[in-house]
């Protein structure tokens, strides 16, 4: 897992106007991301609208992504489901197509106890052919993975990564210190990317990279490779208005897809229950996009 680092674009799933999957748009988008220098791709996560996809569609998008990437960067596939057996099925499928790992949230809607979260990842560690990403997102799961549970999970075989999406920089810092020798720690909060890299995160599960991949790579390089925190802070402050729109409006999917249509990628179509971008957010978004070179 030494090659797992940097900017992992957690990609949207492009749809045609009739709601079918637009593989041509997915191809064009992925090729642009690769040319822009992202370090990894993550299909069929929440940004990819996994709840709106059938299991077969999720597999097909993952397969298509692997073919498009063609070994250029690692691919970590989303395998989240309320049903544990579905997560195992998707993990085994991801293993069969050559993915580098799977991202799995404790089952959403279940509200598991800490003991149940541990047993869940323990089971996955024996069933998945790929390294598993522990995903701490209390907003999506309903329950946070406690630091004590995370330490126990990190001891399990076949656990490879942590996506820290609590929005608490103290949690990320503690995770880097306590399990960073066992798990690759990813920033999972858009508006904490700078702080997370400074505090030792190795990678970023990055929604903004859909729209501004080169800018995200530049931020990573300035902080991690060049240690130029002053210049990185300037770039980050340019990013923050858009990062906050992603995190704070509740319209992350709409913001990303509308931004992509302005760049010529996809139709902007979402599947139910997602609705089109609200007018107020659209006005603010288009204003923000004019303030910096989001490329």
Note the maximum CA span of the chain: 49
Point out which residues pair with 206 in neighbouring strands: 9
Active site residue 220: no
Strands 159-164 and 203-206: unpaired
On whether 205 is known to bind a ligand per the annotation, the reply is yes
CA distance 250 to 98: 34
Q: pLDDT tens digit string along 124-149?
A: 999 999 999 999 999 999 999 999 99
At 3 the pLDDT is 86
Do the beta carbons of residue 115 and residue 154 sit within 8 Å? no
Q: Which domains does the chain have, with CATH numbers?
A: 6-232 (3.20.20.70)
For residue 183, CA distances in Å to 72, 95, 112, 202, 289 come to 23, 19, 22, 10, 35
185-242: per-residue pLDDT in tens? Answer: 999 999 999 999 999 999 999 999 999 999 999 999 999 999 999 999 999 999 999 9
Structure tokens at 251: 């319209």
Q: Based on the residue annotation, tell me whether 163 is a catalytic residue of this protein.
A: yes
State the pTM of this model: 0.97
Is 149 flagged in the annotation as binding? no
Q: Catalytic residue among 59, 118, 121, 135, which?
A: 135
209 token code pair: 């990279």
Alpha helices (H) along the chain? 23-35, 55-69, 84-96, 114-127, 138-141, 147-154, 169-179, 193-198, 213-220, 229-248, 252-262, 279-289
Each residue's pLDDT tens digit, 58-71? 999 999 999 999 99
In the DSSP assignment, the letter for residue 32 is H
| List 59, 163, 218, 257, catalytic entry | 163
Rounded distance, CA 14 to CA 48, Å? 8
Dist CA 38 CA 29 (whole Å): 12
């Amino acid at each position: 897992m030494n090659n797992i680092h940097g900017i992992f674009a957690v990609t949207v799933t492009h749809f045609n106007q009739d709601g079918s999957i637009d593989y041509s748009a997915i191809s064009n988008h992925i090729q642009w991301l690769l040319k822009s220098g992202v370090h990894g791709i993550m299909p069929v996560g929440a940004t990819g609208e996994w709840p709106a996809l059938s299991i077969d569609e999720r597999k097909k998008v993952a397969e298509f992504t692997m073919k498009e990437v063609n070994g250029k960067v690692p691919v970590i596939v989303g395998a989240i489901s309320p049903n544990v057996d579905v997560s195992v099925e998707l993990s085994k499928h991801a293993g069969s197509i050559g993915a580098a790992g799977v991202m799995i949230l404790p089952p959403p809607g279940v509200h598991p106890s800490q003991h149940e979260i541990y047993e869940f990842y323990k089971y996955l560690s024996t069933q998945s052919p790929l390294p598993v990403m522990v995903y701490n997102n209390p907003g999506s799961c309903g329950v946070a993975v406690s630091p004590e549970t995370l330490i126990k999970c990190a001891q399990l075989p076949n656990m490879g990564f942590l996506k820290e999406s609590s929005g608490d920089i103290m949690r990320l810092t503690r995770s880097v210190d306590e399990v960073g020798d066992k798990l690759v720690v990813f920033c999972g909060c858009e508006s904490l990317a700078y702080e997370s890299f400074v505090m030792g995160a190795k990678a970023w599960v990055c929604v903004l990279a859909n729209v501004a991949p080169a800018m995200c790579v530049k931020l990573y390089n300035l902080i991690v490779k060049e240690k130029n925190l002053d210049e990185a802070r300037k770039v980050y402050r340019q990013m923050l208005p858009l990062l906050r729109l992603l995190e704070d409006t509740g319209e992350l999917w709409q913001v990303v897809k509308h931004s992509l249509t302005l760049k010529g990628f996809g139709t902007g179509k979402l599947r139910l229950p997602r609705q089109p971008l609200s007018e107020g957010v659209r006005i603010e978004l288009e204003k923000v996009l004019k303030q910096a070179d989001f490329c």
